Amino acid sequence: MQQFLREWLKIRNMHLFFPYLIGWICAILFVIILIQRAIKCRKDKTPFINFKGYHFFKPNYDKVKLWGSLILFILYIIALPILHFAWASVIFIFLFNVLFEMKPGKLFEFKSVLISAVIALAGSWGVWYLFFQVFNITLP
């Protein structure tokens, strides 16, 4: 086991540390959720899986923001290898901010678009500079 850990923690595998860690944390939390659901169902004497009267989305949910976010996220993943981290992040952080600043009946306000642009530029280039220059970690 010690040899396995020593080999796995070498510099060529360090980029996998956090994805594995996050994956294990998510798996543990998923098991906890299932246990809590089982306890609640046993206490209430209801079936574990009950689709009667179940609605996945709440009534009157914001369809534009939900599906727009999903589409933007998928496009961001596709754009990463093409535009690289900094430019893809600038574009999609801007688009996410604009999407979430949209108000029903209004198109866009100049102030919110300007703030979105500043956040996208400063945030993306700031993260890139921090990782690439300060920590010497390359981003995709």
- The answer on 72 and 17 residing in a single domain is no
Q: Is the pLDDT of residue 71 over 90?
A: yes
Q: What is the pLDDT of residues 89-120, one digit of tens each?
A: 899 999 999 888 877 666 677 888 888 888 88
- The answer on 13 and 1 residing in a single domain is yes
The model carries a pTM of: 0.60
Q: How many domains does the structure of the chain reveal?
A: 2
Please give the full DSSP string across the chain, using - where no structure is assigned: -HHHHHHHTSGGGGGGHHHHHHHHHHHHHHHHHHHHHHHHHHHHT--SS--TT--SS-TT--HHHHHHHHHHHHHHHHHHHHHHHHHHHHHHHHHHHHHHH--TT----HHHHHHHHHHHHHHHHHHHHIIIIIS-----
- The answer on 76 and 99 residing in a single domain is yes
User: What is residue 1's predicted lDDT score, i.e. its pLDDT?
Assistant: 65
Reported as a pLDDT band with limits 50, 70 and 90, residue 8 is low
Range of the domain at 59: 55-140
- The answer on 111 and 86 residing in a single domain is yes
User: What is residue 21's predicted lDDT score, i.e. its pLDDT?
Assistant: 86
